[in-house]
Amino acid sequence: MLFYGRQDITEEDIRQVAEVLRSDLITTGPVTEEFESAFAAYVGAKHAVALCNATSALHLAMLVAGIGKGDRVVTSPNTFLASANCAAYVGATPDFVDIDPISHNLCPQALAREWKPDTGAVVAVHYAGGPADMEKIAEVARGNNALVIEDACHAVGGSIYKDGALRKIGSHGYADMTVFSFHPVKTMTCGEGGMLVTDNDDYAAKAKQLRTHGMTRNPEDMVGLNLSDLDERGPWYYEMQSLGYNMRITDFQCALGLSQLSRLDQSIRRRREIVATYNQAFSAAPFIKTPVLKDISLQDHTSWHLYTVQIDFETLGLTRTHVMERLHSNGVATQVLYIPVHLQPWYRQTYGYGQNKCPVAEQNYRQTLSLPLYPAMSEGDVQLVIDNVLAVTSVYDQVA
């Protein structure tokens, strides 16, 4: 079975993880620090904070930025739940504006048109790895004194242009913080895991403290217990200075991350090759619309996490479920990514959101389908996907 996404684990990955498992320290420790330094260097950011998952990274981004009750946080409806849930976690109001019909990312024009004065932050998502228009999104947000959080969970290793120069996502300066995911189906994995990167010293320091129960062991940060008979500060001493969480990642996960990072560029090149093959094969298919970048010059600088097509199921005369079942029966597993978040029952019940709030995203959802894409796919695997997708659409075209 060819799944829509899959981890790519090598013997070297396993060797490096096993080496840490045989060491004295396996939880957050020196390998975590090494991974943070290597990742920060790779994307070109000053700080990187490794966490148990990207949802935690988004949560901490809200906390360290001071977002909370009374603030509105705007994001794309075409994303995973966590992009909006992170605002609800801190008591802010998650909100949504529609997507661009080409990139399927947050539309800067819709953001400006629907701006509300209580908006404190914008979470800009790079759907499928294709970059959002960060320059225009930042222009709208910062013009209204709001922060920009970049949800780059789909875009590890991608780049955009700034002032004519190519910059890695996470270091271009249009965002105050950027969050990455290392879930197994992403462009690199730690099994689970996430990373928050920023050039802001204060944000990074707060995030590191909050991921470990709000504790510090750094003598320079100590304030003391202010209890004369209990204020001895020996080697055991620590202080909880804020209400934090347990969002730590392990050293053996970070060992996997380091190994995966070392061949990330190679993995992304293979993803681009598969995307190019798909695009060519489906270019003349009557019911299929292939993904398009808003800035075509980024074609060779995009880290494709998903390959998502639009299929006109209504004209085809088939339900999406039927098409997916036919493909699955021939060894091709597909996925629907995503149901617009504002239509989820909890968001409808809690905030009163409903149909037609984001009509472009809702129409996109009616036709979206993600096909298999991961580096370990062989040429035969890719051709199997192409043949089956074309066969399903062509057969029913003739029947109609």
- The residues annotated as belonging to the active site are 186
Q: Are 73 and 92 in contact (CB under 8 A)?
A: yes
Rounded Cα–Cα distance for residues 126 and 72 (Å) = 20
SS (H, E, C) the chain: CECCCCCCCCHHHHHHHHHHHCCCCCCCCHHHHHHHHHHHHHHCCCEEEEECCHHHHHHHHHHHCCCCCCCEEEECCCCCCHHHHHHHHCCCEEEECCECCCCCCECHHHHHHCCCCCEEEEEEECHHHCCCCHHHHHHHHHHCCCEEEEECCCCCCCEEEECCEEEECCCCCCCCEEEEECCCCCCCCCCCCEEEEECCHHHHHHHHHHCECCEECCHHHCCCCCCHHHCCCCCCCCEECCCCCECCCCHHHHHHHHHHHHCHHHHHHHHHHHHHHHHHHHCCCCCEECCCCCCHHHHHHCCCCCEEEEECHHHHCCCHHHHHHHHHHCCECCECCCCCHHHCHHHHHHHCCCCCCCHHHHHHHHHEEEECCCCCCCHHHHHHHHHHHHHHHHHHHHHC
Assess whether the previous peptide bond of 338 is cis (omega < 30° from 0): yes
Rounded Cα–Cα distance for residues 171 and 45 (Å) = 5
The two structure tokens encoding residue 159: 């780049």
